[in-house]
Amino acid sequence: MENYARDNAAKAGLGATSSLRVVHGVSEALPLASKSCDAVVCSLTLCSVVDPARSVAEIKRVLRPGGQFVFWEHVLSETDPSFAEEQVRATPMQIKRADGCHLDRRTGDIIRKAGFRSCDLEYLELKGFGFLNPTVCGIATA
């Protein structure tokens, strides 16, 4: 994954890729200083972490004032109760077969309640994504 990131940084013209630093850790306890990041990008990750609220709090902690949290996550359906029931029923199997992925999380609510200065999010339905629908995407600013 690190080589992939470096190659893409170089292709994007981001200068010396040697400045790219890959940090290993868990999202609930990021090994980064407070207010040390301009941006955090998270896609289809918060479904699988142990404590998504703690993870979002950590993301907020490491962002500089004005820093942006850019996210795209699948969430529990709020518009189709029968589909939401199916998601809840399928979650135990999904956790086992997809590295801890929960289909029944309300990640948009977690992000909205985390205390960001602003939070612009949108719920989307993507064709062909099955249980990974609906999704929420947006930008939260520290």
Residue 64 has pLDDT above 70, yes or no: yes
Q: Report whether 84 contacts 109 (CB < 8 A).
A: no
Tell me the pTM: 0.87
Each residue of 88-130: pLDDT tens digit?
999 999 999 999 999 999 999 999 999 999 999 999 988 888 8
Q: Tokens for 104?
A: 């029944």
| Alpha-carbon distance values, 60 to 9, 10, 29, 31, 48 (Å) | 24, 28, 12, 13, 19
Which is more confidently placed, 13 or 27? 27
The class that CATH gives domain 26-141 is alpha beta
Q: What is the pLDDT of residue 50?
A: 96
**23 has pLDDT over 60:** yes
Boundaries of every domain in the chain: 26-141
* Alpha helix ranges (H) inside the chain: 2-11, 52-62, 81-97, 107-112
CB distance 67 to 38 below 8 Å: yes
Tokens of 11: 């292709």
What six digits make up the tokens of 133? 């629908």
